[in-house]
A and B are shown apart, each in its own frame.
Chain A
Amino acid sequence: MKLYKPEVEAQRFWNPYTQTMARADLDRLHLRKLQTVIAYAYARSPMYRKLLERHKVRPEQIRTMDDFLKRLPFIDKKEVLDAQAVSPPFGEALAVSEEFFHQRFATSGSTGAPLHIPLTYHSAELWGESWVYVYWAAGLRARHSFYFPFNWGIFAAFWSAYMGVRRLGATVVSGGGLDSTARLRQIEQYRPDVMLATPTYALYLGETARGIGMDLAKTSISRVIVAGEPGGSIPATRQAIEDLWGAKCYELYGIAELGPTNPGCPLQGGVHLCEDWYHALVVDESGNTVPYGEVGEHIVTSYIQDGQPLIKYRTHDLVRWTDHPCGCGTTWLYYPGGVLGRTDHMIIVKGVNVYPSAVEAMLHRVTGLSEHYELHVGRDAANDFVTVKAEARPELDERRYGELRRDAEAVFKSAIGVSIGVEVQKPGSLPRYELKAKRFFDHRPAAHRWQLGGRTGA
């Protein structure tokens, strides 16, 4: 007896109906879904009713995609926080009664108050399903087992990946409540096929493994799926993970408030928009949609946040989008390179856009530097300037740090075209992280950061 029939298991896509749909048909379907979500939010979420009334628009006036683009405002995290503050924890952002809640999450609040995220059973199922597109594309089926070196806290993090394993029908092995060494021992014992982690933690486990004389490439792990920060679509980072684990590395890009919006492409060069459950725009600083092929801020509408609808939500992530086929066979929009950075991390050095992901990719090209780094950005009279603090590899003699710094600066100059300062640090001197690493330190005045103007809801 098998969970999936053999002919179904052999399908390339989880939902072939939409994943191979022509762009024009997908866009028509999006309009229908957007109208449904807007009507739902207007009827049930006081926050949305007030927002739309403030902008003098009613749901029935959204008849075309152009209406959606031009008439509906963007919404930012601050407005959701303000709506929640009316009557905490969810206040006027809430659209269903609490008896429909399945689980509650919150953001860390590292940049202000935490944003509360109510998840209904419906949302949870479909947050999970949004992961299954990457599982299925990576060849994972119900017979596989997934290892979670994750502590199951209040942050959404890998909870939705777990929901995805349930949706797929595969096996979960939990590494909750254990330290890194115990997790590695558990991997030896249970022999899971897949490990899910941030890129930082996937690499950090390599240090732990070296400390106990364990070779991760000889474990049962054949796929590593990374999320939570860029890396899976950065060739050098992905290669480092693949070499360490002797496994293929795939990515999923998600946003805590919205869920797993972009499953990774099986060809590994980027992520697709999960067009079953999300709509997206990519806009410039004026709020205008940029043409395919261009970079801008990712603006997302969820079709599955029935507890707390979010429409044209500003993610502050920078992506490049394209409708050009990536080669994997899907028609879903493609974001080569995944997330390129954050709008508030946008760096312009002498007129050249420098994306933090590009800096990370370059670091891996410098023999002698490790994957542990921090990026510090400052501002002089006319320009941003960047300093990278990166740890040397343990085997490198400290007397060679000066040479290593010069090598690294030459690589940056030749690849990016501008000067980036490098400070070589001793191994172990920078902090380690289990979930998202803090790598970006912005010392610029606020006026010199990305500001989205135009049609915001503020």
Chain B
Amino acid sequence: MTREETLERIRDLQARVQELRQASDNPAIERTMQLLDLYCHMARWELGDVQAMIPEVEAR
């Protein structure tokens, strides 16, 4: 898979994780989604896709 394809999938995954984090009222699920969001953010930095320092300050 190319870098661009990988990034496209990660961005899509991250957007869906963020939606689920917002929608959930279960603390365990919210924390897990927050960590998934963080890992997606890290993966994007690792591939040079730099938008913000931490996911919490990325434009939503």
Contact = CB atoms under 8 A, between A and B. Distances in A.
Interface of A: 15, 17-18, 29, 32-33, 36-37, 40, 96, 120-122, 125-126, 129, 276, 303, 306
B47 A17 contact: yes
Nearest to B3: A17
23 contacts: A15-B46, A17-B46, A17-B48, A18-B46, A29-B48, A32-B50, A33-B50, A36-B51, A36-B52, A36-B53, A40-B53, A40-B54, A40-B57, A96-B54, A120-B54, A121-B35, A121-B38, A122-B41, A125-B38, A129-B42, A303-B45, A303-B53, A306-B53
A122 B50 contact: no
B49 to A, nearest CB: 10
Nearest to B53: A40
Contacts of B35: 121
Nearest to A15: B46
B: contact size bracket: 10 to 19
Interface in B20-38: 35, 38
A126 B48 contact: no
Contact of A122 (B48, B51, B54): B54
A37 B35 CA distance: 21
Contacts of B52: 36, 40
Given A32-B50, A40-B52, A306-B54, A276 B3 contact: no
Interface SS, A side:
helix
A285 B51 CA distance: 35
B53 A276 contact: no
B28 to A, nearest CB: 16
Contacts of A121: 35, 38
B46 A276 contact: yes
Contacts of B3: 17
Contacts of A126: 42
The 6 closest A-B pairs by CB, nearest first: A40-B53, A306-B54, A32-B50, A29-B48, A306-B53, A33-B50
Contacts of B57: 40
Contacts of B53: 36-37, 40, 303, 306
Contacts of A37: 53
Contact of A18 (B38, B48, B51, B54): B48
Contacts of A129: 42
Given A121-B38, A306-B53, 9 more contacts: A17-B47, A18-B46, A36-B50, A40-B57, A96-B54, A122-B54, A125-B42, A129-B42, A303-B45
Contact of A29 (B38, B50, B51, B54): B50
B25 to A, nearest CB: 18
Nearest to A96: B54
A126 B43 CA distance: 11
A104 to B, nearest CB: 18
Contacts of A40: 52-54, 57
Contacts of A29: 48, 50
Nearest to B54: A306
Contacts of A33: 45, 50
A33 B45 CA distance: 9
A68 to B, nearest CB: 15
Determine which residue in A17, A122, A125, A276 has the highest number of CB atoms from chain B within 10 A of its CB, and name it: A122
Contacts of B45: 33, 276, 303
Contacts of A276: 45-46
B44 to A, nearest CB: 12
Contacts of B38: 121-122, 125
A408 B51 CA distance: 56
A125 B3 CA distance: 22
A16 to B, nearest CB: 10
Nearest to B52: A36
A17 B10 CA distance: 16
A269 B14 CA distance: 40
A129 B45 CA distance: 13
Nearest to A95: B53
